Every structure is written in structure tokens, then in C-alpha cells.
Structure 1
């Protein structure tokens, strides 16, 4: 659980840096899958620093996924919005309202409840059909991004955010399914390809969502996509359970953490503070 929370700290801080960098580059083509926009963002040092934190957060997430149920890890990752809000209030001098500070507290309380109620990860390794399914969903994320780029305003941001969340959720599930990390096994494992395709597609869609559109709508879609789906897969197909008698506490903690994150959705992109003119 410490690794899962450390991952949230890394992702939450990275989003502040990446958001500032994404807004500093020229607008993209309007497509939800805009590789040119991502390449321009990669020229910004803040974006690269954010990617370094993302890499560290991903390493911590990998360890957490090996020891915790998917619902616990997903809720912890959604809590990165609380980290982003706090970091933005410090680095960018963004003022948090009383409701938003309360939401940060709700997220922390929900995660504490999850930590107390979570059992060990399920013993199921997942069928070949489930592995192929994750790869198919990862490919579908790219299609969703292409369609989302044609939608207007708020609908486009919500669709891009949801697609990015589904991509990150695919990564969570696929990492859990990848039990043999030897080179020979990875080459023949569809889940390994799902990690690469799902993660890459999610980054493309998220960068486009950060650069334009309603931040709140995009982030809300992302939080739902990366938490609900993996949690259901873990419980239904992979055998994730809670400690005996603590299922209600886990359910309450999960929904509190997710709802608190949704209340902080505007911090999916930390506001950029403009420098005053002469």
C-alpha cells in the first residue's frame, strides 16, 4: 500500500509539470490521437521531468499490483488528484476552497479504509481469452481517441479522458496478468503487448485532453475509466477479495476515494498561473 501511495505522489506531481508543458506548446491538429502534439510537448523540460516521475510511479505501481487487489491500487492511483491539488496549491499558488480541502480529506479517509479492508491479491492468473481481451481493448482505445477528436468541446474532453482512463486501466489489468516476465514468455504473451499499446494510447489521449477542452470533464472520465473497470475485472475474473467480514468497509472506502477524486477533477490539469505584465 505504501508503494501504491508513493505511485500516486509521483503521478500527481508529474501531472502539474506536464500540464504546464502541454499548455506551453502550439495547439495540435484537433485529433484525439495527435502524435505531433506529444512530440512538441517532449521538448519541454517540465514534461520530461514529469515523465521521469511517471516512470518511478509506474515502477512502484508494478510492485503494488503484485501484492494488492486491483480495486485498492486503482483507488490509490485516483488519489493522485489529491496530490496534484496540494502540489498545485504550493507550486502554482492555486487557492483550494474549503470543499476541495474536504475532498482531499475524504480521499485520504477512503484510502485508509481500503488499506484496512484489503485482502491479498486473488490467486487467479487469468485465461487466454482475458489476455486477448485486454489487447483488444487497448487497440480500441486508439479508435476511441480518433472518434473523440471529432466531437465538440466538453464531449470531446470527456471522451478523451475516458479513453485515457481505460488505457491506464488496461495497463493495470495486463500487468497483473503478466506473471512470467522472462523474455521468451513476454514475446508470446498478449498481456505484455497490451501494456505497451494501452499505456501509449493513454498518454496520447491524455496529452490531447490536457491541451484543450474541459479539464474537469476529461479528468472525471479518466478517473472512472482507470478505477471501475479494473476493479470489476479483479473481483469477477481474478479472485480479488477483502479481509473476512470487511467487504462493506472496502466498498465504502473505494467509493469515498473515487468520489473525492472526482470532486478534485479540475486538478487533472493544474491551472497555469500567468505572469503579470509590465
Structure 2
């Protein structure tokens, strides 16, 4: 059931991302990184359909996380790019070609290699308070650093940074979702609602959504989705091992297989994201957008 829920979640997430980007690319750039962007997009039926797919996909991911280890589920969720590729290919009419098939094989094979080599499984939930908060704070710091860096580069370079920041937050959200599920199973729904984790999940989800839509708005899907897809499982696995007690094999052979599997996943993600079938969008020139925050080739003084 873990694999069934994980694949269903990936399918719906990939479909949702493509629909959201098709809608977000038409939004005015002046709303970038502003909650006005979400309010404007809520009036677009295509975007709402994409959000609906994403919500249902998140429900399936919660089911997968409630039945399995984070380090096993996260690589499965990374396959959402395969399903995004199928829809994007249908919309664009492009053939997969050698690079597309190479991306498919690397992504799916990398997921399988990591799971087989690492054999992820649950361990003791108590990993130490200091370690818990160091990993937790480190993940948040990485996301913040990515956003701050994005605001000091050219507009055309922002989408992958914003998408990666969203992916990091989504990985942390997945970890907290597993914590909340465990609280509900062990102590009941009332105990879960009295803890802070469910409320932080909502904050992370909304913040991540804003970052993703801003990335979709600022550039084509191929610039943002690979970074989003690669960052989420890496952050999730780090949280799972860092403070949830997940365990993987650490023999030399297993570590080699795990590293090769993760490298294949990341390489496959970027090959598919750069494939011609992934929509480039027809985003208007930011210079023509009233109130856009800056020209795509303009850098702030700090970046010069």
C-alpha cells in the first residue's frame, strides 16, 4: 500500500503542477512573492483544478507516510516529474527522444536503487533534542537562504531557487506530517490538535505554495519543477534520518548504491525538466508588465 499511495500521490502532484504553471505564467509579475498572487489565481479555473489535484495528491502522500518510512516514501514522490512529463508531452506533441528516455530510466531506476540498497526502515523515534532542532533549524535556514539569494539575482535565475526553497519546505512538511500521523495513531486526534506540528504544517504548505506559484509565474516549468522535485526528497530524507529515527544500511556497498541511486534521481529530474516536451510557456516580457519588480536582466547592486 505504501508504493500504491506513493505512486498515486506522485501522479496527481505532477498533473497539478503542470496545470498550476499554465495558469500562473499569465499572472502579473508585480504580485510575485505576494499573497495577492494566490488571491488572483484563485479566480482561474485551471489553477483551481491544479490545486485540487495537488490536494488529493497530498492526501495520498499522507496515507503513504502514515504506513511507511519517510526515507522510503520521498523517493517515490519524486516520480511526480514522470507524470508531469506525460501530460506536458501530450500538450506539446514532442517525442521523448534519447534524453527523455534517459531521464525516465535514471529517475525510476534511481528510486528503485536507493530503496533496494538502503532498505529504509524505522528506528528509535528519540534522536536527542539538540540533534532534532539542529536538523530542523538547518532545513529552515537553507530554505530562507535560497529565497534571499533569489531576491538578489536576475529575474530569469529566480525560478529554480524559489522552487528549491519550496521543495525544502515541502520535505520538512512531509516529516511533520508523519509526526502528526503518529501522534494521532498513538494518542488520539485530540492530542494531535494540541501539538504545534499540524499548525506549522499549514504555515509551511501556504508558504511553499506561494514560492512555487511565484517560481511558475517567473519562468517556464522546466526552470522550476526539476529543482522542486529534487529538493523535496533530499530534505525529507535528511529530516527522516536526522530527527525521526529512520535507518538505512551503512555498509560500503549499500552506501555506494544509495549515493548512486540519489545521483541518478537528481540527474534524471534535471534531464526531464530540460526536455523539449516540458512546456516553456509564453510568459510576457517582464518589461511590459506594469509594476513588475525588475527587468529580467537587471541585477541588484549586491549581485554586481
TM-score w.r.t. the length of structure 2 is: 0.76
Structure 1 residue 137: deviation in Å? 5.7
Residue 237 of structure 2 is matched in structure 1 by: 231
Answer with 1 or 2: which has the greater Rg. 2
Q: 1:14 aligns with which of 9, 13, 16?
A: 16
Structure 1 residue 86: deviation in Å? 1.6
| Aligned pairs (5 A) from 1:1-278 | 1-23=3-25, 25-29=26-30, 31=32, 33-117=33-117, 118-124=119-125, 130=132, 134=136, 141=143, 145=147, 148-149=150-151, 151-178=153-180, 179-181=182-184, 182-213=188-219, 215-242=221-248, 247-248=254-255, 249-266=257-274, 270-271=278-279
Greater shift, 159-168 or 184-193, is seen at 184-193
Structure 1 residue 99: deviation in Å? 0.8
**Distance in 2, Cα, partners of 1:64 & 1:123:** 20
Kindly tell me the number of residue pairs found equivalent between the two proteins. Answer: 271
Contact map agreement 1:8 1:77 (CA 8 A) in 2: yes
Report the secondary structure of 1:66's partner residue.
helix
RMSD across aligned positions (CA) = 3.2
Greater shift, 149-158 or 52-61, is seen at 149-158
TM-score w.r.t. the length of structure 1 is: 0.82
Unaligned runs of 5+ in 2: 283-304
**Distance in 2, Cα, partners of 1:262 & 1:187:** 39
Contact map agreement 1:138 1:197 (CA 8 A) in 2: no
Unaligned runs of 5+ in 1: none
Residues 49, 131 of structure 1: alpha-carbon distance in 2 compared, 3 angstrom cutoff? farther
Structure 1 residue 155: deviation in Å? 3.3
